[in-house]
Amino acid sequence: MDKKQYEEMQSIVQFGRLAVDAMLNAMKRCGLIEKGYWLEMAVRNIYLPSTGETMIGSVRLNRSYDNENYRHDEDFYHMELRGKGWEIIDDPCGKTGSVPEVVKPCDFDPTGADEGSTAGETSSEHPLPPDGLWLSYRDDPAFVGGGQ
């Protein structure tokens, strides 16, 4: 590993830590941590012999009910397959299948201040993370705006 690759990897890990902190705060606010839920997000390039497809990402929000098994009636599990996009594997309401390829920010303002606001449309004087992704506008550290 050369210096450039090390610095790139270090940046990705640091951004990942910010993502974990943001998700932890969100899960605490809505009581999921206290109820025993955990969140797993993965970026990978793994061949699935059972389907002959390649999984490149997944997001899973669930809890175990006996420390080993999962309750699929309370499990959210989405998987991204190369060439197919995101698919719903598990959903508490039983919905499975394809999801839209592009996920857009919602028009919801959690403060309730402006019902007409559109999340993610305002510009900022603060630098963005390497790929421009904002995870939260309330819990960001000071160097990316501190929620301002």
Structural domain of residue 49, as residue ranges?
13-139
Residue 148 domain-assigned?
A: no
Residue 1 domain-assigned?
A: no
What local confidence, expressed as pLDDT, does residue 3 receive? 94
Residue 134 domain-assigned?
A: yes
pLDDT 10s digits, 44-92: 999 999 989 999 999 999 887 776 666 667 788 899 999 988 888 888 8
Residue 4 domain-assigned?
A: no
Q: Is 75 exposed, middle or buried (0-12, 13-18, 19+ CB in 10 A)?
A: middle
Which two tokens mark 122? 């305002």
Residue 136 has pLDDT above 80, yes or no: no
Higher pLDDT among residues 50 and 148, named by residue: 50
Angstrom distance (rounded) from CA 97 to CA 84: 11
Residue 73 domain-assigned?
A: yes
If one counts every other C-beta atom within 10 angstroms of the C-beta of residue 135, the result is 17
Band of pLDDT at residue 103, cut at 50, 70 and 90? very low
What local confidence, expressed as pLDDT, does residue 142 receive? 54
Residue 6 domain-assigned?
A: no
143-147 contacts, C-beta under 8 A, 24 or more apart: none
Query: What rounded mean pLDDT belongs to the chain?
Result: 74
pLDDT 10s digits, 3-56: 999 999 999 999 899 989 999 999 999 999 998 899 999 999 999 999 899 999
* CB-side neighbour CA atoms (13 Å) of 1: 7
User: Which H/E stretch holds residue 44?
Assistant: strand 38-48
Give me the DSSP letters along 73-123. Answer: GG-EEEEEETTTEEEEEE-TT---EE--SPPPPPS--TT-S-TT--TT-S-
Residue 98 domain-assigned?
A: yes
If one counts every other C-beta atom within 10 angstroms of the C-beta of residue 21, the result is 15
Band of pLDDT at residue 101, cut at 50, 70 and 90? low
List the beta bridge partners of residue 70: 64
Domain count, the chain: 1
Residue 117 has pLDDT above 90, yes or no: no
